Chains A and B, each alone.
Chain A
Amino acid sequence: MKKELAQSIQKALKRQNLAGILDRWNYPATRAKAYEGIDFEALRNQIAEIKGSAADHLEELAETFKKAAEARGSKVFRANSPQAVKDYIANLCKEKGVRKIVKSKSMASEEIHLNQHLAKFGIQSDETDLGEWIIQLAHQTPSHMVMPALHLTKEEVADLFSKETRQQQSTDIQQLVKVARKALREKYFAADMGMSGANIAIAETGTLVICTNEGNARLVTTLPKIHVALVGLEKLVASYADAAPILTALPKSATSQLITSYVSFITGPTPNDDGSMKELHIVLMDNRRTAMAKDPRFKEALQCIRCASCLNVCPVYRLVTGHVFGLIYTGGIGTILTAWFNELKTSEDIQGLCICCGKCKEICPGKIDIPELILEIRRRIASKEGLPFIQKSALSVINNRRLFHSMLRAASVAQKPFVKEGFIRHLPMFLSNLSEYRSLPTIAPIPFRDAFKKIKQPKSKTRASFFSGCAIEFVYPRIGEAIVKVLNKAGIEVVFPQGQSCCGIPHWGSGAFDMAAAAAAHNIKPLLADDVKYVVVGCATCATALKKEWPRLLKDENMASLVPEAEKVAAKTVMFSELVNQLIEEKKLTPKDGLELRSVAYHDSCHAKRHVGIYKEPRAALAAAGYELNEMFECDTCCGMGGSYTVKQPEISMEMLKRKLKNIEDTGAEYVSAECPGCLIQIGGGLDKAGSKIKSKHPAELMEDHFK
């Protein structure tokens, strides 16, 4: 991580007004209300289909659009590069004697820094969208794609307006809006040209669809005699009917509204009030969008409708805003667009901010797998530039269990002066920020693979392989012991294949897909060696690898011959709570009578909830085993661990943890449980450091003595 990025993160974390605003908005709830009565999955499938098909036919649609729009009297210019756009508009201004431009929102124009270019020729461009105008006055870039000035306080806006109007303005928001109305009203009337973007461009009719709440686009496209629309190729859809699903989703996802106050469908020029005809120029801008459409992985990102819902739910974005997480386009999708519209290299730092929790993927109306595409950027950067040496060495070590354990243990012994009750509370010097809000667990003296040998189990025909994962093996062997104990109660004999090692997710998450595939290949045979009915996993991250990622990784990394066996593993893999719930339903596990009811708050790990879809099962199993569930606010929001994320972005990770801890404390539960040792390290360490009474436990630990 570059020093400047680290500094900008620290600066952003000190300024949490955007986070506060997002909290007060309560986006998840208001969004859900806007979507009431609508089948969101069906709607987003429809949008993905419409936009996906448009991405497949970009060239064709651009030509259809051009013909249709020109037939209606518009002038259409197709520009490949940002320079071609700038030249066309600058020349047009020169030719028509344009000195003043009023603009409604166009992110495409910000993408190519058009205002700055035109200023070189003495042309004044004024933004009219209130948020855009504010950041223009502040000489800043958007912090949010839909509400670009969200990071500024009303006091800061009042200062900007006071400077602009040369009059002291009050900090009353209603008053400030009226100040903007008055100032901008004059600009509309004085402008020689109006410039807009478009939310949708309909190819068959040559139509621009523009949505605003303020009504500024209506004035920009009505008052000046020349209208220039700058439209990225990704806005194209084939037909008029295709606009309906996008218009249905966009306002609901963007601002939790049913529809924006104004939607305009502009098809060709209209007469001005003096009887002359308006000039309508439409610039269709490529700037690597066609290249993106041809990339089998990144084509999907063209399904974006720019609602910014991925920002509103992102636990990292809310902390650091788009000024850190993004360039012009912000947040998760912004990172992807930046990698293309600028270059891969520019996204190198910002892509590392994504913790890959998958929250955005759940609500994206374009059905874009944003974290997956960020991982793909990571992979391309890693394969192009290589991983940093230390990271690569570390990742190599964890593929060798024995070596990994002896190294960790050595480190752990070295930490002895700091150990208390199984936690490391303070770390020296440069590592100190790792234990500022969270104690770190100590490394167990005996790894699970050795502890397992001492467990006495009844023999059984029904056998299960246990895949421990690194954290249970080295940090929490007692979780492994509890898992064996519960499964034995159901008449299942557990085997522990000694050949197993890391599941490969840390490598995958760092973009080293080849090393991840090697990890998969290393594990498959040992897991299938014994004739087992189940492969049981007590770690949601490992479950993601075994259930989902291994077959795909092996295929992508040219190890297709191993795919059938990887699929066999996937079919047998169950998460511990998933299996327990099933065994309870099958009456193979019976809860003890007269259990004292205890309360637990359940934290959904990102991998369990969003990668393998396990969140009902642990709750059902815990409830059957005598626990009352006290649900916490944002139960499925990331705790900030994110594997190595907590090491790479410690400040952000700790802020996420603080919020999680508060939500846990608010439940008043006795325990907090998660089926992910990573989350337990983070949350357990946080609770310890904060001196909380709440104990963090794996479901297996909570249930181990609860069955007959």
Chain B
Amino acid sequence: MFDKFKAAAEAAGNTAVMRFSTKAQALDFIEEFLKQEEVKDNPGSYAVWADAPILKGVDKQALAAKVPGLKFQVTRELAKNAKIGITQMEWGLANMGTLAQDSSAVEQRLASALSWIHVALLPTDRIVADLPALMTKMHPGRSNYIALITGPSKTADIERVLAIGVHGPERLVIICVDELRGTNS
């Protein structure tokens, strides 16, 4: 399932999919990634991290101290000035490389819709086959805002030439974590 998901997600363009077995490895990677992408405590260079099950038990203050510019409070203004937004998704669709999330909490949308790079965490065992399979897991009867995300923001409205990053992220980095099993069920 993971291999199929990875292939489909990466086929959507400007999308990278990686996989870690433990939470600690995933967190280390993100820390490294934020540094590498030069996240700073300047408008335009922030990273915003919306509330996520993976953060349970993580010392956020300590992490924010290690990466200046990393914010765990996601407001409109901070998100507007963020280079990177991090959210945890609930489901993946193997056939199209799609991510799904109950985005009723506005922070989840602000963090994933405004930044240049969207880092999406996903429990590896939450990858299902396709849309009909997802529809048995998520239901609008329970969620006010269900968001499906596949690849970066794109357009072909000028001469049908593909351009990436029109209103939302230019890049999507998907981090599958095996150990995240069950944490958000």
Structural contact, B166 and A240, CB atoms closer than 8 A: no
Structural contact, A177 and B76, CB atoms closer than 8 A: no
Structural contact, B80 and A189, CB atoms closer than 8 A: yes
Structural contact, A264 and B158, CB atoms closer than 8 A: no
Q: Which of A25, A129, A202, A215 contacts B140 (CB 8 A)?
A: A202
> Closest CB of chain A to B151's CB: distance in Å?
5
Per-residue CB contact flags for chain B residues 96-130 toward chain A (1 = under 8 Å, else 0) read 10100001111101100110000000000000000
Which residues from chain B contact A259 at a C-beta distance below 8 Å? 96, 98, 148, 150
Structural contact, A214 and B168, CB atoms closer than 8 A: yes
Within 83-97 of A, Cβ neighbours of B (below 8 Å) are at none
Q: Cα distance A585–B105 when bound, in Å?
A: 69
Is A690 in the interface zone, CB < 8 Å from B?
no
Which residues from chain A contact B8 at a C-beta distance below 8 Å? 258
Which residues from chain B contact A247 at a C-beta distance below 8 Å? 131
Q: Cα distance A259–B80 when bound, in Å?
A: 26
Is B167 in the interface zone, CB < 8 Å from A?
yes
Structural contact, B149 and A241, CB atoms closer than 8 A: no
Q: Which of B76, B103, B153, B163 contacts A215 (CB 8 A)?
A: B153
Is B62 in the interface zone, CB < 8 Å from A?
no
Structural contact, B165 and A241, CB atoms closer than 8 A: no
Is B65 in the interface zone, CB < 8 Å from A?
no
Structural contact, B140 and A267, CB atoms closer than 8 A: yes
Identity of the chain B residue whose Cβ is nearest the Cβ of A104 in the assembled complex: B167
Structural contact, B154 and A271, CB atoms closer than 8 A: no
Q: Which of A134, A260, A266 contacts B150 (CB 8 A)?
A: A260
Within 209-262 of A, Cβ neighbours of B (below 8 Å) are at 213-216, 218-219, 222-223, 240-241, 243-244, 247-248, 255, 258-262
> Closest CB of chain B to A183's CB: distance in Å?
11
Structural contact, B140 and A205, CB atoms closer than 8 A: yes
Structural contact, A241 and B158, CB atoms closer than 8 A: no
Within 59-97 of B, Cβ neighbours of A (below 8 Å) are at 74-76, 80, 95-96
Per-residue CB contact flags for chain B residues 161-176 toward chain A (1 = under 8 Å, else 0) read 1010111110000000
Q: Cα distance A18–B46 when bound, in Å?
A: 41
Structural contact, B158 and A215, CB atoms closer than 8 A: no
Given A261-B151, A270-B106, decide whether A174 and B140 contact each other with a Cβ distance below 8 A: no
Is A184 in the interface zone, CB < 8 Å from B?
yes
Structural contact, A215 and B167, CB atoms closer than 8 A: yes
Which residues from chain A contact B141 at a C-beta distance below 8 Å? 205, 240, 267
Structural contact, A214 and B144, CB atoms closer than 8 A: no
Given A147-B160, A215-B167, A261-B154, decide whether A222 and B110 contact each other with a Cβ distance below 8 A: yes
Structural contact, A266 and B144, CB atoms closer than 8 A: yes
Which stretch (A149-157, A493-501, A650-658) binds chain B?
A149-157
Structural contact, B165 and A134, CB atoms closer than 8 A: no
Interface size class of B (residues with CB under 8 A): 35 or more
Which residues from chain A contact B145 at a C-beta distance below 8 Å? 264-267, 270
Structural contact, B160 and A222, CB atoms closer than 8 A: no
> Closest CB of chain A to B38's CB: distance in Å?
19
Which residues from chain A contact B144 at a C-beta distance below 8 Å? 72, 266-270
Given A214-B154, A218-B109, A261-B152, decide whether A173 and B163 contact each other with a Cβ distance below 8 A: yes
Is A397 in the interface zone, CB < 8 Å from B?
no
Is A21 in the interface zone, CB < 8 Å from B?
yes
Is A694 in the interface zone, CB < 8 Å from B?
no
Interface size class of A (residues with CB under 8 A): 35 or more
Given A263-B148, A265-B146, decide whether A130 and B106 contact each other with a Cβ distance below 8 A: no
Structural contact, B132 and A214, CB atoms closer than 8 A: no
Is A637 in the interface zone, CB < 8 Å from B?
no
Structural contact, B76 and A223, CB atoms closer than 8 A: yes
Q: Cα distance A261–B166 when bound, in Å?
A: 12
Is B139 in the interface zone, CB < 8 Å from A?
yes
> Closest CB of chain B to A138's CB: distance in Å?
12
Which residues from chain B contact A216 at a C-beta distance below 8 Å? 166-167
Q: Cα distance A272–B139 when bound, in Å?
A: 22
Structural contact, A181 and B148, CB atoms closer than 8 A: no
Identity of the chain B residue whose Cβ is nearest the Cβ of A218 in the assembled complex: B113
Which residues from chain A contact B95 at a C-beta distance below 8 Å? 258
Is B58 in the interface zone, CB < 8 Å from A?
no
Q: Cα distance A266–B145 when bound, in Å?
A: 5
Which residues from chain B contact A130 at a C-beta distance below 8 Å? 155, 157-158, 166
Which residues from chain A contact B152 at a C-beta distance below 8 Å? 261
Structural contact, A181 and B140, CB atoms closer than 8 A: no
Q: Cα distance A654–B148 when bound, in Å?
A: 46
Q: Cα distance A263–B151 when bound, in Å?
A: 12
Identity of the chain A residue whose Cβ is nearest the Cβ of B102 in the assembled complex: A265
> Closest CB of chain A to B169's CB: distance in Å?
8
Q: Which of A17, A129, A240, A270 contacts B104 (CB 8 A)?
A: A270
> Closest CB of chain A to B146's CB: distance in Å?
4
> Closest CB of chain B to A651's CB: distance in Å?
25
Given A181-B166, A185-B80, A240-B140, decide whether A222 and B98 contact each other with a Cβ distance below 8 A: no
Q: Cα distance A679–B169 when bound, in Å?
A: 51
Within 155-192 of A, Cβ neighbours of B (below 8 Å) are at 157, 173-174, 176-178, 180-181, 184-185, 189
Structural contact, B155 and A214, CB atoms closer than 8 A: yes
Given A214-B155, A259-B148, A270-B144, decide whether A21 and B113 contact each other with a Cβ distance below 8 A: no
Structural contact, B166 and A214, CB atoms closer than 8 A: yes
Per-residue CB contact flags for chain A residues 267-289 toward chain B (1 = under 8 Å, else 0) read 11111110000000000000000
Give B residues with C-beta under 8 Å from A.
8, 12, 74-76, 80, 95-96, 98, 103-107, 109-110, 113-114, 131-132, 135, 139-141, 143-161, 163, 165-169
Q: Which 10 A-B pairs have the closest CB atoms?
A: A215-B168, A131-B157, A265-B146, A177-B163, A263-B148, A215-B153, A130-B157, A267-B140, A207-B140, A205-B140
